[in-house]
Amino acid sequence: MDKREEEIIKSAMEVFAEVGFHKAKISHIADRAGIAVGTIYLYFKKKEDILEAILMRSWSIVETALKLVISDSDLKGTEKIKELISIIVNQAKQNRLMAQIILHEFKFWSDNDNIKLKPLITSIQSLLRKIISEGMENEFRSDIDPGAVTSFFIGGVWHYLAYYSSNLETVNEYTIKRALEKLVLQGLLK
């Protein structure tokens, strides 16, 4: 990704977080980036493509992290959940706008019609269900639905982070991680 494309994405994130995706205009993104509107169209055909690029970047980080966590056979289910929470919190702290965008644009990234995002989101859901299912064999409750827990985890963690997104830089990272661990794990553990 070149410098101009990176600036467009950064500016779009700011605009989307401020006014929401649907109210945002390409002209606002261009003004924020200090470029002409036409320049944006050299990189992205439409506003949805910019949002898609933002979400692909964020969810790709989560997917990569999940694959690493799952591959570590020394970690128990609880430890894998804690590790994933830590990764997501770190990502949100590095880019607080992302937490807001992921929460507010839930319909966009969770929509089954989104051709580029669908395989990525499906992979993440599958990987997380695998962690939950494996944990049910010995440490998690056996009466839970891994699909429902996956849905809650994905939505709940980002919702929690979006709640703190305006001051994520000042909120103690350890406190956020422990609170999320408690919220998630209390419902899973026997």
pLDDT on residue 131: 94
pLDDT on residue 154: 84
Neighbour count for residue 15 (Cβ, 10 Å): 25
Between the alpha carbon of residue 73 and those of residues 68, 131, 138, 165, 172, the distances in Å are 10, 11, 14, 33, 30
Q: Would you kindly state where each structural domain of the chain is located, as residue ranges?
A: 1-45, 47-188
Residues forming beta bridges with residue 140, ordered by sequence position: 189
Q: Check if the beta carbon of residue 35 is closer than 8 Å to that of residue 122.
A: no
Task: Indicate the pTM of the whole model.
Answer: 0.84
pLDDT on residue 187: 81
pLDDT on residue 101: 84
64: exposed, middle or buried (C-beta count within 10 Å: 0-12, 13-18, 19+)? exposed
What CA–CA distance (Å, rounded) separates 87 from 66?
A: 9
- Residue 42 in 3-state DSSP? helix
Classified by CATH at the fold level, domain 47-188 comes out as Tetracycline Repressor; domain 2 (1.10.357)
Q: Can you tell me which residue has the tokens 């990525």?
A: 120
pLDDT on residue 129: 94
pLDDT on residue 179: 87
Q: What is the CA radius of gyration of the chain?
A: 18
CB contact set of 60 (below 8 Å; sequence gap of 6+): 120
What CA–CA distance (Å, rounded) separates 70 from 54?
A: 25
pLDDT on residue 155: 81
* Angle between helices 173-188 and 77-94 in degrees, nearest 10: 140
Q: What is the CATH number of domain 1-45?
A: 1.10.10.60
Question: Long-range contacts of range 88-91, CB-CB < 8 Å, 24 or more positions apart?
Answer: 88/62, 88/157, 88/158, 88/161, 89/161, 89/173, 89/176, 89/177, 89/180, 90/173, 91/58, 91/61, 91/62
- Which residue numbers in the chain have pLDDT < 70? 111-112, 165-168
